Amino acid sequence: MDLTNKVVLLTGAKRIGAVVAESLARGGADIALVYNRSEDEAATTVAAVRAFGRRAIAIHAELREPDECQRIVDETVRGLGRLDVLVAMASLYSGIPLAEMTADHWNRQLDVDLRSGFLCAQAAVAPMKAQGGGRIIFFSDWVAASGRPRYPGFAHYYVGKAGVKALTEAMALELAGEQILVNAVAPGPIVAPPDTSLDDVRAVADATPLGRWGGEAEIAKAVKFLIETDFVTGETIRVDGGRHLK
């Protein structure tokens, strides 16, 4: 798929999402950004996309609500005229010991990481089918894509991201006949969380075969590849500097 004049709906417009949005706009796409609490960041990204001469809108939504997932698709089509690509990046990341995990912790994690991606993708199918195809790109995690947990305290996160991988495969099979390709990106050490200590940053780099953090641009490259390819579907691609090899 050529990005020129295509419309991309991107959920999770903060940090890495902002870089992805700008990269796709540079390639000729118009962008609809979905945000929850990051209104200022979304506005900054919209301005950056428009600076490339592309159209951009920001949509506030609570993706834990099923009706909101349909609404963002409807607003994208209404505001930008079509929908070619869904990039479902919305996610939560926080650890909690298994003994302290409540049903609310569990449900909140899976609602955002797994259910919202499914509901947004389900809503996106109709406009994609109407124009002869499209792309759906989910976000898993290098640990889940490697098939085994590594960090205690992240059971809910691991299960959610493992579910994303399974969802990718199941939807890819069902939608192949509609020329809707479904894939996932599984990031590894891309950017350190804001509260990461310098020692922890170095430890992660040392544990990564390439010896460094990847940076947001590497995720943008992977997303762009999965949009442009016409013959890859049902894959979860690790972008982790070889981290899964150790």
Which residue numbers are catalytic? 157
Q: Which residues pair with 87 in a beta bridge?
A: 10, 137
One-letter amino acid for residue 48 of the chain: A
CA gap 134, 179 in Å, rounded: 7
User: Do β-strands 7-11 and 85-88 pair in parallel, antiparallel, or remain unpaired?
Assistant: parallel
Distances (CA, A) of 74 to 179, 191, 218, 244: 21, 32, 30, 39
Both ends of the chain: CA-CA distance in Å?
Answer: 35
Phi, psi of 244, deg, nearest 5: -70, -10
Rg (CA), the chain: 17
Phi, psi of 171, deg, nearest 5: -70, -35
